[in-house]
Every structure is written in C-alpha cells, then in structure tokens.
Amino acid sequence: MIILSQDPIYRTSGERTVKMMAILVGICVVGAAIFFGMWDYWISSPAAVVLQRAATTPEGPTVVATGVEIPVSLSFIESPDFITLAFNALPGDPNNNPTIEAQVGDKIIFDVVNDGKSFHALGVTAEDSGFSGIIPGTEVGSASKPLKPGEGGKSSFVPGEEGIYYYICTVPGHREQGMVGQIIVGDVSEPAGSAMPVPEPGLEEIPEMIVEEEPAITVTPPKVESPPAAMVPFTGTISVPAGSGVPGCEQTNECFIPADVTVSVGTTVTWSNDDTVAHTVTSGTPSGGPDGVFDSGLFIAGAKFDHTFDEAGTYDYFCMVHPWMKGKVQVN
C-alpha cells in the first residue's frame, strides 16, 4: 500500500522567476543610483559616531575653527648652481622663506608653484629637522610624486595647538639646502636657556692671557691624486652612488660613477640607483632643461634604468631632483 505525503509541495513557474529577478535587478539599480549619486557625501562627511570618537581620541579635542583664513603664496626657486634652494627668494633677498604667523584654529591656505627646474613638493611638519612627520592634508605633491617644473597646487593647514611648525620641501635633501620656513602659532616665547647668561657685576670673568707658541715645523708629504671618476673602467653600468643626493659630489665629478663614458652605437647603458633616495636620469642640462631624448622618471633606491644609444653624438644628462648631478655619454 502506497502512503502519499499530506505536506503540500510548492513550485513556481518560469514567469514568476523572471518577475522576481526583475524586481531584484531594479532594487540593485535604484540602490546603486542612490549610492553613487551621494558619492561626494560618502567620501567627505564621516558618520556622527566617527566624529564623536574623533573628539575623544588621544590626539586631543577637535580644533575649533576661528574662521580666519591666511592665504600664502609660495614659489620653489633655486640658485643658478642649484646648491641653494628656497621659497620665493634666495637668502638675503626680500620675502625669502617668509615666516607665517597664525593662531590655533586659523586656516593657512598654501598656493604653491614650482618655478624651478628641479622636482619639489610641499608639506608641513612639527619636526625641526628631516622630512618626516608631515601633517596629512598639507601636502602638495610628495617625494615619490613631486611637482615638475611649472606645476603647482593648493593645500591647507589648521594648527591644533601653539608652537612652531615648518613648511618644507619634502624631497629628501631639499630642506637642508634651504627650502624651509617657519609657521609660528600663538604666543611662542623664546625657548628657555637660549639666551646667553649675563654675569653679575664684579664677577665678570677675566680673560686668560694666551701665550702663543712658535708653530712646529712639519713636512707635508706630497699628495697622491686619485684618478678622476671619468677614468673608472666602464662596464656598461653607471652607478648613482650613495650620498649623491647631497651637494658635494659635483666637486669631484662623482655624482654618477663614471660620470663621462664613451660607447659604440647600439650600446645599452644601465644606470643603477645605489643611493637611498630617488633620482632621475634625464637627457639635457640643468640650465637648458630636458631635451626629450631619454628620461628615467623617478626611480627609487635599488632600481635600474636602461637606454640604448642608436645614434652617434654627445648626450648630456642630469638628475631632475638634484640638478648638480651631471653626466655625459659619448656615442661613436
């Protein structure tokens, strides 16, 4: 005897399936339209709970804006020999690395342009040396993606507490060459201990009498000159040596090793970045700019760049980031 189940069996038709799929697709389309229509809202307005948490983070309370805006125009410039770098004017000239004065909550708006022939980038930091600690939102370009000559951009900085901040070029080495200015926020007093102590009356130190001795006669051995970098045997690879990102290597022609090479037509030359910072290998000269024959773009420490010379001639090249670095390839 066969016993049939009393539970109903539910089935649907192909027509119902199509309708259900159409409804689901419609919901997805409407949802996507709402989401992308409010895209600017999603990326610019944090949720209320995020704002509440931000106000209680260890970084301190939310900065109260004063409504004061301070426009600052900055131009990256370089000395003719590219050794001295600055903002707006070279040292000794008016408006060199102008000092910015502000209060907590003021909005400093930077409008920068690269009027130099090298690569540059802007950022604000509280560190009094180096290029670390850049405050997010203050950047215009970066060390890995700097402003090329003629490029510019804008950024802003709202100080959250009193103190001294620094606007700098964030390309390694450029701050040390002079691209740094101060942002003084609030009433910043002179640091304690910075003034020279003044002795009490009657207790002034009496200068000690110095008796000069006759200088000893020494015989200096003749200096043995080391061979110039151009005489280094060429193996097909040109090294960008460590430390070349700091001025000085141009005095011995060792910013590229070897700096001057001679090759035959059809030779492929390799440049190896053996430094700790990024460089470029750009055909042309610092004074005349790139000539478009070859350009590595920024290549980081440890990277290499190749170029094959198919035509005879003399090819000058330099580093766009550190223009004192120059070399030459003679193709016969």
**Sign, CA torsion 131/240/321/305:** negative
- Cβ atoms of residues 279 and 257 within 8 Å: no
Look up the pTM and report it. 0.60
Burial class (CB in 10 A: 0-12, 13-18, 19+), 273: buried
- Domains, the chain, in order of start with CATH, read 69-185 (2.60.40.420), 230-331 (2.60.40.420)
The closest alpha carbon to 127, from 163, 75, 172, belongs to 163
pLDDT of residue 61: 54
> Which pair of tokens denotes residue 108?
């400093």
> Which pair of tokens denotes residue 37?
């229509």
Burial class (CB in 10 A: 0-12, 13-18, 19+), 107: middle
pLDDT of residue 246: 82
Task: Give 291-308 pLDDT, tens digit per residue.
Answer: 999 999 888 889 999 999
Task: Identify the bridge partners of residue 270 per DSSP, sorted by sequence position.
Answer: 237, 306
Question: How many Cα atoms within 13 Å fall on the side-chain side of residue 148?
Answer: 6
**What sections of 58-100 are H helices per DSSP?**
none
Task: Give 152-190 pLDDT, tens digit per residue.
Answer: 999 999 999 999 999 999 988 899 889 999 999 998 765
pLDDT of residue 37: 63
Task: Give 72-121 pLDDT, tens digit per residue.
Answer: 999 999 998 888 999 999 999 999 999 999 999 999 999 999 998 889 99
- Cβ atoms of residues 243 and 249 within 8 Å: yes
pLDDT of residue 273: 94
User: What average pLDDT does the chain have?
Assistant: 80
Terminus-to-terminus CA distance in the chain, angstroms?
Answer: 104
Task: Identify the bridge partners of residue 260 per DSSP, sorted by sequence position.
Answer: 328
| Banded model confidence at residue 281, pLDDT cuts 50, 70, 90 | very high
Q: For 233-255, what is the mean pLDDT?
A: 88
Q: Beta strands 282-285 and 260-263: pairing type?
A: unpaired
**Helix-strand-coil percent breakdown of the chain, rounded to 5?**
15, 30, 60
